[in-house]
Structure 1
Amino acid sequence: MSEYQYYEFQAIDRPLTAAEMSELRSISTRARITPTSFVNEYSWGDFKGEPDLWMEHYFDAFLYLANWGMHLLKLRLPPRLLNPATALAYFGSDSAFVNVKSGKVILSFSSDDEDGGEWVDGEGLLSSLISVRAELARGDLRALYLGWLLRVQAGEVDSKEAEPPVPPGLGQLSASLDSLADFLRIDGDLLHVAAKASSPLADLALDRDQFLAWLGTLATAEKDEWISRLVVESDQAAVAELRQRFLRQRGAAGAGPMTTDRTVGQLRAAAAAYARQRMHIEAEKQAAEKMRREQETAVAREKHLDGLVGREARLWNEVETLVATTQAAGYDQALRHLVDLRDLAERGRGGDFRLRIESLRQAHARKLAFIKRLDKAGL
C-alpha cells in the first residue's frame, strides 16, 4: 500500500497576510494556500514545515492523518476564552496535552491506531471538526472531557485516579463533537457510561431583550471598548468572550461540570460490563432476525412448491432440454428445477426422484460441468 499523509491548517480569528502566505509558500510549492488555509497531501516525501510552530504563529486549527493509523488535531484559543488551568484538569499526556505559546492555548488530540493500513482521505475532515473550537470558546468543556477519555482509553491515566468534572451534555453531542469522538476513535461504550453522570445540556440561546438589558448595566467606557475591539481591531474572539461573560453573569449555563466519585478503574469496569450487555442484546436481535428471515424464506419456498404441484412431468422434460444445451446457464436452470423436483418428491410427489436422477447422471456422464453441479448440490 502506498503512503498517504494529509495536512490541513485553518486560520479563523484573522486571515494570513500576504507576507505570511509567501513565507508558507517558501516551505511548500505544491500546497493549496489561501488567506485562511494551508492544505497539502503526500503520497511520497514528507512535510517540511513545523506544525507546532505554525500553530503558534499562523493558524487556529490543524488536522493531520496518515494511512498508518495516526490522527492528530490541534486547536488554538486565547486564554481569555479557555483558561489553561481548566484545560489541564483534563489534558496532560501523549494523547491529549496542552501548551501555552505566544499568549495562546494550544490543545492537541492524538489517536494512533497501530493496526493502521486503512484507506483514508483527509479532504473535508477538518470542516466537520472546526466547530469544536467555537464550542470551546463558548465555554463548552465536552471536547476537553473527550480528550480525557482518549487518555483513559490509551492507558495513560492510572486506574485509581479520580474522574475530572463531567460537563453537561455528554449524552447530547453536537455533530462536530460526534465527529471528534469518531476521528479520535473513542470507545462508544466508554463514552456511554461516562455520559450517565452528565446533566442535560442547558439552552444557551441568547434572548435579545435580556442581552440588551445586561448591556445597559455596563459602563459607557466599557461598552466603547468592546465596540472598538469588534469594529476597529476586528477581534473575532471578543464576540465569544462577551457571550461567555453574559451567560456566566446571567447564570444561564445551568448546572456546570459535575464532580463525581468515580475512578478511572470504575469507568473501565462499567464500560466493559455495558459492552458485554450490549453485545448480548445485539446477538439476541441478530438471532431473532435470522429466524424471521428463515421463516419467511421457508414460507416463500412452500408457496413456490405449491405452484409446481401437477407440473412434475413437464419439469423433467425441461431438465432434459436444458441439459442438452450444454451451456452453463442451461445447467444452472436445470439444477434449480431438479432441486424443486427433489423437494416435491420429499412431499410425496414427483415419483421416484432418486431413480430418475441416477438415470439422468448416467445419460449425461460426459457432461462434467453438469455432473459437478449435481455433486455440489448433493443430488
Structure 2
Amino acid sequence: MSEYQYVAFRAVDRPLSDTQLAYAEKQSSRSELSKWEMSVEYHYGSFRGDVNGLLRGGFDLYLAYADYGEREVRLRLPHGLPFSRKILAPFLAFDNITWTKDAKGGGILTVAISHDPGEKEDIEEFTVYLDALESIRQQLITGDLRAFYLLWLCGAVDEFDELDETVAPPVPHGLDQMPAKSLDLLQFFGLDPLFCQAAAEGVPAYEPSDDEDPIQLWARSISETRSRALLLRFLKDDLVETKAELIAEIHDTGKMIDWPTTPCERTLNDLISAVSILRITEEKKQDKIAKAEANRQAAKVEKIRQARMEQMRASPQTWLTKAEKTAAAGGTDNYRAAAEMLADVREAIGGPRGERLAGNRASKIAKAHPTRNMLKSALRKKGLLP
C-alpha cells in the first residue's frame, strides 16, 4: 500500500523574486511552482527540501500532510510575535508548538502532530486549510491572541497522555467570535470546529473602544507629516508588508496592549467533554433545521401539485394527451412523469370517472409501446395497469 504525502507553500505578502524562485526550484524537481505557490504530492518518497529556508526565502506559509499520521503547518512572521513573554509562555509549553526566531528578526511558528493511521479522517482538499492558515497569520500579525489559542488547540489536544493534567491557557476574550475562515484549520488537525466555542464558555466578548484600541491611539499620536508619508507609502508600496511593519512599530513602542484573557482552569479533557456536549446540541439543531426545510419544500411541492390538479379538473384531456406525449419521448424520468400525471388526473377528477380516464389512457400508452417494460412498470406502480 502506498503512502500519500502532500506539501504546499504559499507567499502572502509579495510574490517571489526571480532569485527566490530559482532557489525554490532547486528544492524539488517534482513540484508545481509559481511566484505565489509551490506544491508537491508523493505516493512514494517525501519532501527533502529546506522548509525553513523556503519560508525565509519568500514563502509565508507551509502545510504538510501524510496519510500515515503526520500533519504540520508553519507560518513565518517577519516581525515576530506581538505578545509578551508572559502571555506566550503557556502557549509554548508543548513540543508540538514551537517558535523559532530568525537571526535578523521575525521567526517561524510551527504546529505539528503525529497520530496513528486511520485515527483521524483523511483529507483531500487542501486549499481551504491554506486559506485558514493565511487568515490566522493575519490575525497574529495584528496582535490577535485568539489565533494563537486556536493554534494551541491544534497542537495540544493531540497530547493524549496528558489530557487530564494539562490546563488550558487563559482564554482570549471573543474566542467564540473567531473568523469562520480561521476556524477551518481545526479540521485539518482532526478537531471539531466547536472547540473554540467550548473553550469560550463564560468568557466575555472583546470589543475595544477607540480609547483602548492601540492602533487608534497610535494613529492619533503621529504627526500630520508622518500620516501623509504613510498614505503615500500605502498607495505606492506593498500594502501587507507596510501594515506588518507598522503593527510591529506600534508593538515596539509599547503602545500595544495585551489581548484581554480570562483564566478558566479547564483541562484538555474538560474541553473535549464540553465539545461532545456542544456537538450533540448542534446536531439536534441542524436536524431540526433540516426537517423544517424538508417540510417547507414538501409544502411547496404540494402547493404546485394542487395548482396543477386544478388545471386537470378544468381540462383533463389536455393532461391525458401531455402524459401520452411524455411517455412517447422515452426515458425512465419521462415514464415516471407520465405515470404521475395520469395518477394526478385520476385523483383530480375522482370517482369512477377519474379511474376510467386515467386507466384507459394508461392502457393506450402501454399498447402503443409494448416493448417498453420500464414504462409499464412505472404505470403499474401507480396502480394504472393491472
Q: TM-score, normalised by structure 2?
A: 0.69
Secondary structure in 2 aligned to 1:139?
A: coil
Q: Is the 8 A contact 1:199 1:255 kept in 2?
A: no
Secondary structure in 1 aligned to 2:247?
A: helix
Q: 1:150 to 1:347 in 2, by over 3 A?
A: farther
Q: 1:298 to 1:186 in 2, by over 3 A?
A: same
Q: Is the 8 A contact 2:10 2:61 kept in 1?
A: yes
| Deviation for aligned residue 1:346 | 4.3
Q: Is the 8 A contact 2:10 2:62 kept in 1?
A: yes
Aligned residue identity for 1:144: F
| Deviation for aligned residue 1:272 | 1.9
Matching residue of 1:271: 275
**In the alignment, does 2:152 pair up with 1:148?**
yes
Distance 2:219 2:101 in 1: 39
Distance 2:12 2:295 in 1: 55
Task: Choose which of 115, 132, 136 in structure 2 pairs with 1:132.
Answer: 136
| Deviation for aligned residue 1:303 | 2.1
Task: Choose which of 154, 159, 163 in structure 1 pairs with 2:168.
Answer: 163
Aligned residue identity for 1:169: G
Matching residue of 2:178: 173
Map Cα deviations across residues 57-107 of structure 1 (whole Å, 9 max, x no partner).
Answer: 64673322448486532124466745566444124446x411435556532
Map Cα deviations across residues 159-209 of structure 1 (whole Å, 9 max, x no partner).
Answer: 343221112331332476345446555422221122232441424433456
Distance 1:259 1:362 in 2: 76
Secondary structure in 2 aligned to 1:188?
A: coil
RMSD: 4.5
Equivalent positions of 1:1-379 (< 5 A) are: 5-8=6-9, 10=11, 18=19, 24-29=24-29, 32=33, 39-42=38-41, 46-52=46-52, 54-55=54-55, 58=57, 61-66=60-65, 68=67, 71-77=71-77, 81-82=82-83, 86-93=87-94, 96-100=96-100, 103=103, 105-110=107-112, 114=118, 118-122=123-127, 126=130, 129-130=133-134, 132-151=136-155, 153-154=157-158, 156=160, 157-174=162-179, 177-178=182-183, 180-181=185-186, 183-184=188-189, 186-196=191-201, 197-202=203-208, 203-207=213-217, 210-212=220-222, 239-246=246-253, 248-249=254-255, 253=257, 256-312=260-316, 315-316=319-320, 325=328, 327-328=330-331, 331=335, 334-344=338-348, 346=350, 349-352=353-356, 356=360, 363=367, 366-369=370-373, 370-379=375-384
Distance 1:342 1:6 in 2: 63
Secondary structure in 2 aligned to 1:296?
A: helix
Distance 1:347 1:152 in 2: 71
Number of equivalent positions: 349
Distance 1:284 1:236 in 2: 45
Secondary structure in 2 aligned to 1:206?
A: helix
| Deviation for aligned residue 1:28 | 3.4
Distance 2:16 2:325 in 1: 78
Secondary structure in 2 aligned to 1:297?
A: helix
Aligned residue identity for 1:5: Y
Distance 1:320 1:136 in 2: 67
Map Cα deviations across residues 314-371 of structure 1 (whole Å, 9 max, x no partner).
Answer: 6556666776x58448755642432223323546752546864785588568334331
| The structure with more radius of gyration | 1
What is the identity percentage for the equivalent residue pairs of Structure 1 and Structure 2? 18
| Deviation for aligned residue 1:145 | 0.7
Aligned residue identity for 1:108: T
Map Cα deviations across residues 264-321 of structure 1 (whole Å, 9 max, x no partner).
Answer: 3332222222222222222222222222322232232222112211534565566667
Q: Is the 8 A contact 1:150 1:184 kept in 2?
A: yes
Q: 1:137 to 1:343 in 2, by over 3 A?
A: same
Aligned residue identity for 1:51: V
Matching residue of 1:225: none
Secondary structure in 2 aligned to 1:5?
A: strand
| Deviation for aligned residue 1:39 | 2.0
Secondary structure in 2 aligned to 1:39?
A: strand
Q: 1:177 to 1:303 in 2, by over 3 A?
A: closer
Distance 2:14 2:370 in 1: 80
Secondary structure in 2 aligned to 1:161?
A: coil
Secondary structure in 2 aligned to 1:120?
A: coil
Map Cα deviations across residues 91-136 of structure 1 (whole Å, 9 max, x no partner).
Answer: 4446x411435556532124679465554354x9646634534543
Q: Is the 8 A contact 1:81 1:139 kept in 2?
A: yes
> Unaligned regions of 5+ residues in structure 2, if any?
224-240
Q: Is the 8 A contact 1:9 1:38 kept in 2?
A: yes
Secondary structure in 2 aligned to 1:47?
A: coil
